[in-house]
Amino acid sequence: MDHCGWESRQQLTVRITMATQTFATESLLSRRLRAGWLNWETAAYTLIIIASIIAHLWGLDRMALHHDESIHAWSSWRLYTGAGSFSCWNGLDENGNARGGLYHETYCYDPVYHGPSLYFLTALAYFLFGDGDAQARLPMALAGIGLVASAWWLRPYLGRGGALIAALLLGFSPSLLYYTRFARHDGLMVLWELWMVIGALRWIDTGRAQWLYLVAVGLALAIATHELYYILLFIFGVFVLMRLLAESRFARYLNIVLLVVIGLCVALMIINPPLPFGRGLYVGEKAFLIASALVLAWLCQRLWPPESVLTSRLRALWQTERNTLWTALAILGGIYLVLYTSFFTYLPGAIDGITAGLIYWLGSQQEYARGDQPWYYYLMLLPLYEPLAVFSGLGVVGAMIVAVIRRWQIKRQAVSSAPDAEASDLADVDESARLKAMAPWPLYPLLVVFWFFTAIIIFSWAGEKMPWLVVHMSLPGNLLAAWVCGRFIDVIRRERPDAQIWLVPLTVVLLGVAIGVAFWRLSTGGQTAILQAIVPLLIVFGLIYALLSLIGRLGIRSVSAALGITVSLLLAAYMIRATWLVVYDHPDVPVEPLIYTQTAPDVPRYAADIRELAINLTRGNRGPQDPTGGLTMPLILDGGDRSAEGSLAWPLQWYLRDFKNISWVNGSELGRVPSVDQLTVTMPDGNRDLAPIVMLYRPFVTDRLRDILRESYVQPYGQAGVFNWWFPEGNKCSPQSPGYKRFYYSTWSAAAAQADCGRDLSSELHGPFDVLLWPFQRENWPTLGRYLLFRQLPEPLILSGREVEVWLRRDLAGGTAQTTTVTAAPELRLAALNEVRLSSGGSGATGIAIDQQGQIYVADTYNHRIEVFAPDGTLVRNFGGQGNGLDQFYEPRGLAFDSQGNLYIADTWNARVVKYSADLRPIASWGSGDMDLGDGRRATITEGDPARNAAAPLGFFGPRGIAVDAADNVYIADTGNKRIVVTDSNGQFLYQFGGAGSAPGQFNEPTSLAFDAAGNLYVADTWNGRVQVFGRGADGRIDPIPLATWPVPGWQANTYDDPMLAVSPEGTVYIAVPSRQHVLTANAAGEPLLRWTGVGSDSVPIASPSGIVVATDGSVWIVDRLSGRAARFSLPALAPSTP
């Protein structure tokens, strides 16, 4: 008994010891939880999938449907409702364009609108959950969630940790999350691509039929979704072909054959003959693609395993598993036929699905080049939104090149025989290193890195470059990043370094901060800044020494892995912020290049108000097709001109899809020959009357048409609203203007630039690689940093778009939910007494002032000069010109006179104030900028910090407003530095007040200053959306604590339309509100007295009021920034008050 008991205890001890050792060596993710079947890995996946569900579905309808989204949503709705009339493929006309004109009662394939899967899946979403914006995006959102779940299948290639990282990256990367919440085919396509790759890899490894079936499903759905499958088949086809050749008996000739083929491609690239078919297609372009793919495939071929894996698997499939092959082909063909023939109701789709897309693309779409984006477009988007993928890709390619070179060296190294034991030991060590260097790479990273870079090359070459296509590069890039991060984790687990490894991330973070501070100091320029950079540079060297010491203690592999993990986490933190900003913070405000021609947020509101009005107006006209009433209310909407330019069809076709009586008019013709009859429609009761709602593209609304509309209509949303808008790209034909398209043409393409732009641009063009060097140039770092962190567009870039005018029949003005909006609209419309026009006829005028003789001075900002007009509007003279000389300006804005008739000018981007005598001779200037912001713009940036403001009293950052008090002291609104600076009339600094913030006495982009008769100072605190009024202290200086602060509706942050203000001697305050196209008149306490707008002598309204000045007779001059003019108005008597 005792012996048996001892033996049992001994066995139990052994089992406990073994279990303890196993628990100690297994990873955290593989340890089981108390539930038995559940471990930390499945728990982590569950949490990630739940988070992905929330991320993809939360607020799915918050953003207005984009132009393309609305087409897909509307077409799916017609499929769901059985409305029919689908456009079918009908070949190309003699010009190579899609012929059109063929329709069918159910879905039929037209490559213009891509494949059927999106429409059937969206119709299913409507069937299950009803029709709406969220339901239109639901299939893509579910595909995004499917991406996350599918990462589970990647565990054999990425490991447990790497697969979890893949799930996180696929679920929450900025581009993938944004476009899997977007009703376009690309959100579906990325899931089918992933299934194809996973299925192929798992089938090659296991030979199990289910994985081949997954390939068939993925390929069939990809074919049924988007013509991009041609590109995918090219990418994967080249890789598979190279693999088969490497496994064949011709492998020994592979390098020679590749050299010949690549040499032939290079020759064709030089000759570049046109293809005998298609439009705008040349052999050289295709040769470049083939050569690039072959070079990448060759690099992969040098590293992949030598075993005959793919050939043997294909042989076994044909010889012993042919039923599996037929089943896979049946799945592929079945899905294809069912979808393309619309469940066998449109049989020509079986042929069109294969041929039409390629014919259309070769025929016209490649030459059409939608978006007209430059070749570096994706090289800009990828680092901005997917930096982890970019850095991982470059790192892997670098490692591949090093590995290939190392193999080449080993193969040519002569191994000498070892004459003694010591030499033999050394030889063993060398042999071990050689075997390690010669070890083949796994197939997964080779396939993914080839896919990633080949996709970048092909999509950069393709004519159509749209931001949503970036997901087809983001997918392989993030899969590669997950593999790299997984390798880093494996190294740490395998090497098991001691606790000092945690010093690596701490050192790296501190090193990054020190480098950032040093570069920031150096970027400001000047001797003081260089001296201030010495300390952080010394810290940098100390931290580098500490990092090298850690390498000596822990080994270079462990430290390198820890360094890689740290950098990856920092990049991931940036990506999380980028995701939040673009997906949730401003998904429909195009301050991001990822957002393209987005519908403005107000458009769904217009549609909702129209629907409510229609129900209220026609609720008595209910019927089987219109149970609530309202759908029969007539609407007149702008269908654009004959080429559809200016059309409001998308997304209004979707948002007003239920309405039965919409008249789509030619807005251009209506504006050219307007009449009341053209606004008359048949009402539901059969009577003829004016249309209740008229919506027109604003450029088509002529003065004659507007006069007719005003007789019977009001504008409940103001004079105009944004219909859709886009990221400010710049102008490819203006290489010296802002925006990324200024690099479109380079010195290598001067002839193409001249042919396209119609003028010789040789002297303005940049070098061919200047666009790639731009982020690394010191003067661009502040602009780049502000955009990366805050998405702040650099001046003078502003959002632009198409505007719409909404007209509501006057007798119905109380019938919508927007009655408060109606009352908030301008209450008075004035006609100008007279006006002055800039001689340039351009836009950008801002500041205005009147001298003692009554002459009007206007800052012609973008032409860098001041124009002087007589009181009757006659141009007297102009002076200035671009430059930094005493008699030159760089975008002047604010103007003010002192009691002696001297003129003071806020020379914005020369960062100074310039003083002119009464006879307009330049006398002096003061202020400076110690940084070059690009294009010669100077600034001293203090970020509104009080200490830094004190250190640079006359260092200005974009000064705009300027005013002179009764003592001839000069007050400067140092806009970018969030302060007011006071000097005497000769530029001697007196004092300053303010600083960054929103508390009383703090500022955020002050743009204008004005004094009242009592000496109180009024400040346009623009980005804080308010006016602050300051009195004087006992010492006669401005008291930094304001007397009053009041909001200005319509002033918003991150706008650059230069709103200004003026104060009359009686204390009436005039405030320009450019975003609402009106002027707010208030008393000194901020109580609104009047909202008004005006029209010039041509009856064209003031579109963007900016500068304001009150004349001695009480009339008010307003500068219209967009039309290059200033107009004078007389207002009714108002009752001012004091703060």
- Domain coordinates in residue numbering, the chain: 39-491, 492-585, 600-726+802-821, 740-798, 848-1088+1110-1129
Whole-number pLDDT of residue 20? 39
Distance CA 597, CA 997 (A): 33
* Helices 229-247/310-319 angle, 10° precision: 100
Distance CA 158, CA 162 (A): 5
Find the mean pLDDT for residues 588-600: 92
Distance CA 545, CA 535 (A): 16
Whole-number pLDDT of residue 827? 57
Whole-number pLDDT of residue 28? 56
Residue 975: pLDDT band by 50, 70, 90 thresholds?
Answer: very high
pLDDT at 877 over 70: yes
Whole-number pLDDT of residue 904? 98
Q: With contact defined as beta carbons under 8 Å apart, do 839 and 879 qualify?
A: no
Is residue 61 helix, strand or coil? coil
Higher pLDDT among residues 1067 and 495, named by residue: 1067
Distance CA 116, CA 60 (A): 23
Distance CA 778, CA 986 (A): 34
Residue 269: pLDDT band by 50, 70, 90 thresholds?
Answer: confident
| Residues sharing a CB contact under 8 Å with residue 605, sequence separation 6 or more, in sequence order | none
| pTM for this predicted structure | 0.72
Is residue 675 helix, strand or coil? coil
Helix boundaries (H) for 462-555: 471-495, 503-523, 527-554
Phi-psi region of 680 (alpha: psi -120 to 50; beta: other; left: phi over 0): beta
Residue 117: pLDDT band by 50, 70, 90 thresholds?
Answer: very high
DSSP 131: S
Find the mean pLDDT for residues 126-139: 96
284 to each of 257, 459, 461, 787, 949, how far by Cα in Å? 19, 16, 12, 38, 58
Residue 1: pLDDT band by 50, 70, 90 thresholds?
Answer: very low
Q: What percent of the chain has pLDDT over 90?
A: 54
Whole-number pLDDT of residue 571? 96
Residue 753: pLDDT band by 50, 70, 90 thresholds?
Answer: confident
pLDDT at 1092 over 90: no
Q: With contact defined as beta carbons under 8 Å apart, do 892 and 886 qualify?
A: no
CATH architecture of 848-1088+1110-1129: 6 Propeller (2.120)
Whole-number pLDDT of residue 411? 74
Residue 265: pLDDT band by 50, 70, 90 thresholds?
Answer: confident
| Residues sharing a CB contact under 8 Å with residue 333, sequence separation 6 or more, in sequence order | 220
Q: With contact defined as beta carbons under 8 Å apart, do 186 and 590 qualify?
A: no
pLDDT at 94 over 80: no
Q: What percent of the chain has pLDDT over 70?
A: 88
Structure tokens at 1060: 């200004």
Q: With contact defined as beta carbons under 8 Å apart, do 813 and 717 qualify?
A: no
Q: Report the 10 Å Cβ neighbour count for 541.
A: 10
Residue 847: pLDDT band by 50, 70, 90 thresholds?
Answer: very high
pLDDT tens for each residue of 518-540: 777 766 666 666 677 788 888 88
Residue 797: pLDDT band by 50, 70, 90 thresholds?
Answer: confident
Residue among 628, 905, 557, 79 at smallest CA distance from 914: 905
pLDDT at 12 over 70: no
Q: With contact defined as beta carbons under 8 Å apart, do 44 and 624 qualify?
A: no
Find the mean pLDDT for residues 1054-1072: 89
Distance CA 814, CA 1015 (A): 44
Find the mean pLDDT for residues 179-189: 97
| Least confidently predicted of 370-384, 986-1000, 1053-1067 | 1053-1067
Name the E strands within 370-448: none
Is residue 436 helix, strand or coil? helix
pLDDT at 857 over 60: yes
Residue 393: pLDDT band by 50, 70, 90 thresholds?
Answer: very high
pLDDT at 649 over 90: yes
Whole-number pLDDT of residue 27? 58
pLDDT at 843 over 70: no
pLDDT tens for each residue of 409-457: 877 774 444 455 444 544 544 555 566 666 789 999 999 999 999 999 9
Distance CA 961, CA 898 (A): 15
Distance CA 958, CA 905 (A): 12
DSSP 623: B
Distance CA 923, CA 174 (A): 54
Is residue 600 helix, strand or coil? coil
User: Could you tell me how far CA 1050 lies from the centroid of its own chain?
Assistant: 24
Q: Cis peptide leading into 796, omega within 30 of 0?
A: yes
Whole-number pLDDT of residue 990? 97
Whole-number pLDDT of residue 432? 55
pLDDT at 25 over 50: no
Residue 751: pLDDT band by 50, 70, 90 thresholds?
Answer: confident
Structure tokens at 467: 């931001």
End-to-end CA distance of the chain: 103
Distance CA 946, CA 828 (A): 43
Q: Cis peptide leading into 699, omega within 30 of 0?
A: no
pLDDT at 495 over 70: yes
Q: Average per-residue pLDDT in the chain?
A: 86
Structure tokens at 579: 């995701």
Q: With contact defined as beta carbons under 8 Å apart, do 1017 and 1011 qualify?
A: yes
Distance CA 217, CA 719 (A): 53
Residue among 245, 238, 191, 242 at smallest CA distance from 219: 191
